[in-house]
Chains A and B, each alone.
Chain A
Amino acid sequence: DTGVSQDPRHKITKRGQNVTFRCDPISEHNRLYWYRQTLGQGPEFLTYFQNEAQLEKSRLLSDRFSAERPKGSFSTLEIQRTEQGDSAMYLCASSPDRGEQYFGPGTRLTVT
């Protein structure tokens, strides 16, 4: 069973550095979502792709954040000029057109 995978699982970076995360969704799912979760809170929506098209972005997604999903397969989330407030768990989820979202294990980002 190949679920959603994310890489890396943990990332420690210094303030001001750029970081990139990868998400590989379940292969037959055409929808892909990025969420961010801080300690003690529920996940918050960041952005959504249907196939390769990025169709929705949250106001949480500042100009320093960019996401891509080339050819509608894996997705990357890049954060430029990281800030301490970016420290969080970044979760990726995928779903078919109608149905439940299945989450990956997350990437824990720590900005020092």
Chain B
Amino acid sequence: EDQVTQSPEALRLQEGESSSLNCSYTVSGLRGLFWYRQDPGKGPEFLFTLYSAGEEKEKERLKATLTKKESFLHITAPKPEDSATYLCAVQEWGNAGNMLTFGGGTRLMVKP
């Protein structure tokens, strides 16, 4: 059974203090790994898709990387508006429906 574990559960940063969020996964065959951002009371907002080990994607202050066992979301010089819960999810090959299996999320708080 697919397992996705995110750490830490919560992270407090000062504005400008760079850090990384971790997503480790166990899946028979990874089709894709997805990062989403979720603000309180709202649906997840798509950020990145990674398909193979070594792949990297960037968007503004965020950079996602992928290895065979985990993914990292690096946040460079975060701002208070980056405060949100960051979710990672995996899709498995052989899963015709392409449904996502999510981790529990990392709640990021950036203080000014």
Contacts and interface: CB of A to CB of B under 8 A. Distances in A.
A100 B49 contact: yes
Interface stretch (B11-19, B38-46, B71-79): B38-46
Contact of A105 (B43, B99, B102): B43
Nearest to A98: B98
B102 A44 contact: yes
Contacts, number: 62
A42 B42 contact: no
A48 interface: yes
A103 B102 contact: no
Contact of B98 (A4, A31, A44): A31
Interface of A: 4, 6, 31, 33, 35, 40-45, 48, 50, 55-56, 91, 93, 95, 98, 100-106, 108
Given A45-B99, A50-B97, 4 more contacts: A4-B43, A40-B104, A48-B97, A108-B41
Interface of B: 4, 6, 34, 36, 41-46, 49, 87, 89, 96-105
